[in-house]
Structure 1
Amino acid sequence: MIVAALLACVAAQPLDAAGGSPGDAAAAPAARPSPAEHRFSFAGVPTATFNTDEGFGTGGVGTMYHQHGGVAPYRDAFTLNVFISSKLVQAHAITWDALRPFDIPGRALVKLGYYSTVSQNYCGVGNEVTCAPGDAVARARALGFADGTAAFEDFVRRYYLMRFIRPYATLLARPWLRDKPWRTELLVGWRGALTIPGELAALAPYPDNRFAEDHPDGEPGFSSVPTLGLIVDDRDAETFPTRGFFFEASGRAAHPWWGGTWTWAGANASGSFFVEMERAPRLVLATRFLADVIVGEPSVEEMARIGGTNDWIAFGGHVLGRGVREHRYLGKLKVIGQAELRAQLYRHDVWGEQLDHGVAVFSDVGWIGYDVADLRGRAVKLLGGVGISYRLLWNETFSVRADLAVSPDEAEGPGFYVIVGQAF
């Protein structure tokens, strides 16, 4: 079940564009290629995962790295993600991540993806939603379902769930305004997503459930969101930073003028800070502070997401609000703090691949309000979760975490997540 076990069984095979042998290259990894040389390598991971929100999942992640021009750790990374879970969540994507694209100092990302679910959570909005099973039972009885029947059980199970199909695209350009120290980047981007309520067999929300009560049509439409912002990055590394900081601030907006169904605007600011506590073993204190605000009338899916370089869902889920079910606490106002104490303890080689094992303890704390004029909850209520984690670094360029988290704000028990990449 743990991705780390699969990582130890899969070797990345460097492929020399000049005609070298993959087997020879893996047995004796070559030095960094000369700036004029094109070199390719591949990292592939079949995944068998579990997390509380999506259930048991399987699929794979494969990345081809292109090295050229002395750009480290790669010039281009082409990644294919395929995922399907026992809760019928599908998440597939093709990503191109480029450093110095077209020899322009900076970074570019193009991502095309497909997401569909029949089991996304929806308990309402604000910081005091309960997701109470008793309310689902009462609603089923009010609609005339007989206790103990299959129809009754299905309705109760689906009462706090959403189903939808969401193909999407993300474009980001990050041209450098200055290099390190304190590398400064302009953030210019756009994300688009088509929301189709229901599933292929029934293009509508679950009848009469909590989401259908608030949005009977299921909120079909197209989200077109341009973004403009600024990034300051002074981290010593990206996969496992040990010192420095990463700051970003941006604004975004949606409007029918540029193809959107909904009209709203948002602003986001976040800062991540890394302090090296010990070098052997590597012990790092990592913290992140984030604020996000939306005005206007976004769809539920856009209201759930933050702005900036990543449109993570908050509060709840595998990144922002671990220990709380994903999509549980929704609002246009979000303030979040995270802290992790990370330790990389043991490093060894398998088939020429370097594996670095570590652990972490962490906490996520958040405040959510529905709207400035209507918080839909208590003004002083904080949400939170704490947890422990196993961390794996593969060749210092690929990371996996297995997080176990609990929260006093979640009655469904601990959250468990096996995820590629750091939380921040």
Structure 2
Amino acid sequence: MKISALSLSLLVALPSYTSAASCLASLTRFNLAFRGRCRYDDVLGRIADEVAKTEACEGVTAENELIALLGVTTVEGAQGEVYSMCEGLFQAEKADEFLPFPDISEQGPQFDKQYYDGNTYWNEQYETNVENRVPYLKNEAANRLDIDAANVEDVYDGIAKSGGIQFPGGLSNFQDDDGNICDLRAVMCCWASDRQANDNNGNCAKAYDTNCVDADPGDNTDICYVDMSRSGGSAHVDAGFALYPGDNNDGEGSVHCHGFAWSQDEQHHTSRFFGNNLFFVSMYDHMSQRGYVRNIPGAPMCGCVEKMPVVTRSDCTQVDVSEVFSIDYAGTDIEFSRVPGYLKIDFNSCRGLGANNNLEEYYKRLKRDGDATAEELARLQTYIVGNGNCPSATASFVETMGFEYI
């Protein structure tokens, strides 16, 4: 795919270039590939490499050459032009090439909504050999996850690691009060059940009909409370709350929470491929590979962190992306394009500021790097309160509801 500055309706058409204005224009046509991000610094670096080895560019700086190629007069103008051209490329890719999220389940957005609330047969069933199973096949179990959700494996192998997946921002689980995508740019899932044996996660075991009827995921957090007013579209009530004093066998039992977050820079790879991360965390890594399903009562199974239970901690996955772009010049047009076949997306444990695989610590890193604000971090920490802080967080919440926490 190629996006030309000439084709963007919001931009002024680029002027024609002459060899006097641009030394690289003497080449008539060029395609300069580079690995990195589609952004000013990376584009400038690639231009600098080409200027250094082009005889016609002797004495010309990379900044002046890029200004000439883009038909602007200042560095600031060049920065703005590069940003606009990259944005055009990314928006066109999202619209034309990213996989629509409902295509994963192939059962429509209503199914996806119910899945993220914890209510579909993907969430509620477990493998069974009961006599009245449907379909009944001799010596074959029914409700097999690898069959019922086979598309998940296909999408992971075929698209998730080498192409984009649209984020399901139309689902209320992933909207703020104004209908925009998660205000804090953070999503968390919390699972209360395990439906798959022999995967070294949770305590579901064979035989399914005796050892997986009410199985638990691996515990990694403590639930403090659920405020149902924050997720009415999932809880189906306007208000109400549930408190979870204690932990593990003395509290809510085993619960597993895992999330991810993305940059406030819309061109950052975490912001462009957060649909991939949602798919990986919720459908592939935890359901398909571990069998983790079902929601905490009163809350969605997955949603913006603001809609989820208040917990002490959450595991975390980040996307790491390798991309190759090209600066293409032909006659009078300059274009940016993605080089096909060079997009690689990896899913790794978050590298946080004070600890890895920790959503709060990863958000601290986003704040340090300018990808989140101090105010946003402080708000996130009212939902992920830290180990040992459930009693104080719950007491504060109960007081806001007009009660005394004893």
Same fold (TM over 0.5): no
Structure ranking higher on relative contact order (CA contacts 8 Å, 6+ apart): 2
The structure number with the bigger radius of gyration is: 2
Bin of the TM-score, shorter chain as denominator length: under 0.3
TM score, norm. by length of structure 2: 0.28
Larger helix proportion of the pair: 2
Larger strand proportion of the pair: 1
